[in-house]
Amino acid sequence: MDIAALLIVIALVGLAVWFVGQPLRRGAAARARAADEGRIADLRAARLAKYGEIRDAEMDYRTGKLSEEDWRVLDRQLRAEAVDILHELDTLAPGGADGHGEEAATAADVAQAGSEPEAQQPVGARGPATIARP
């Protein structure tokens, strides 16, 4: 009977430890989730800023402030940085940071926008900027 009582006490102590430790385990998961959400918010802001930089560089090219060669180099660099941001956003928020798979399509759009045929047109013949504000 002493062994049975000992097993019951051990089971009760284990149950009490498990019950008391629940908030601590939930707190760690919540902190990790909050850190990810903060990083996602930072990446969304960086994404919008990078889109603005791309638009600004294109406007500088169109107004003659940048030569075509300089614009191509800068545009390629900015788009590569935007794609990196979008890939990191996809990693942290699978299915798209906005929940609709927007990021993967946007990464492809950023990489392909501003293609060669458009760049061959005279400056005044081009339409609106190749990257629209999301």
Candidates 33, 114, 26; CA nearest to 75 is 114
CB atoms closer than 10 angstroms to residue 72: 16
Lowest-confidence pick of 16-20, 88-92, 113-117: 113-117
User: At residue 89, what is the residue type?
Assistant: L
The residue ranges of every structural domain in the chain are 30-125
For residue 97, give both structure tokens: 């940071």
pTM above 0.85, yes or no: no
Averaged pLDDT for residues 102-127? 47
Q: Scan for tokens 């889109």, then name that residue.
A: 51
Instruction: Give residue-wise pLDDT tens across range 39-62.
Output: 899 999 999 999 999 999 999 999
What tens digit of pLDDT does each residue of 69-114 get? 999 999 999 999 999 999 999 988 875 545 444 444 455 555 555 4
pLDDT band at 123 (very low <50, low <70, confident <90, very high): very low
- Which sign does the torsion angle of CA 84, 87, 93, 95 carry? positive
**Tokens for 19?**
């019950």
